[in-house]
């Protein structure tokens, strides 16, 4: 399935500082819905999981084996609406501070969304 080009995609990024605290994932779900986001890059997730179901979205996180306890603060993730999940070609964790997702698109092009966390 290709990305739907009949409407605009809403893509954003957010430094969440942590999703490990109680209520943080619920707050993230509300923000995704409030701003009608299709794709959201998140930095400093501080979570161990690789995939989290957020209702209308799925959150993909960098692989836990890439992160040490010290480096975990830099973990990044990408939330993708389930409506677009069928267009997802791949999700890649380059490091604990960089990840990307690639979507199949029409017109001989693919859409790549890259998320980075650059601080020390």
Residue-wise pLDDT tens digits, 55-106: 999 998 886 545 555 555 568 899 999 988 888 999 998 888 899 999 988 7
Q: Within 13 Å, how many C-alpha atoms sit on residue 71's CB side?
A: 15
The CATH number of the domain holding residue 16 is 3.60.10.10
Q: Which of the two residues, 50 and 3, has the higher pLDDT score?
A: 50
In angstroms, the CA 107 to CA 85 distance is: 19
Residue 41 neighbours by CB distance under 10 Å = 21
The pLDDT confidence band at residue 16, using thresholds 50, 70 and 90, is confident
Give residue 22's pLDDT: 87
Give residue 112's pLDDT: 93
Task: Identify the DSSP state of 104.
Answer: E
> In 3-state terms, what secondary structure has residue 64?
helix
If you average pLDDT over every residue of the chain, what do you get? 84
Residue 120 domain-assigned (yes or no): no
Domain that holds residue 17: 11-115
Asked if residue 111 has pLDDT above 60, the reply is: yes
Give residue 50's pLDDT: 82
In angstroms, the CA 32 to CA 30 distance is: 5
Asked if residue 110 has pLDDT above 60, the reply is: yes
86 Rama class: left (phi>0) / alpha (psi -120 to 50) / beta: alpha
> In 3-state terms, what secondary structure has residue 73?
helix
Residue 26 domain-assigned (yes or no): yes
DSSP 2-52: ---TTS---EEEEE-S-S-STTHHHHHHHHHHHTT-SEEEEE------SEE
The tally of domains found in the chain comes to 1
């Amino acid at each position: 399935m290709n990305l739907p080009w009949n409407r605009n995609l809403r893509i954003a990024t957010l430094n969440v500082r942590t999703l490990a605290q109680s209520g943080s994932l619920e707050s993230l779900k509300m923000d995704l819905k409030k701003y009608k986001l299709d794709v959201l890059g998140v930095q400093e997730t501080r979570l161990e999981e690789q995939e989290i179901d957020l209702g209308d979205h799925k959150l993909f996180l960098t692989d836990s084996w890439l992160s040490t306890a010290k480096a975990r603060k830099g973990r990044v993730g990408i939330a993708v609406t389930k409506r677009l999940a069928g267009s997802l070609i791949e999700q890649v964790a380059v490091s604990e501070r960089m990840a990307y997702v690639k979507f199949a698109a029409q017109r001989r092009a693919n859409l790549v969304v890259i998320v980075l966390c650059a601080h020390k």
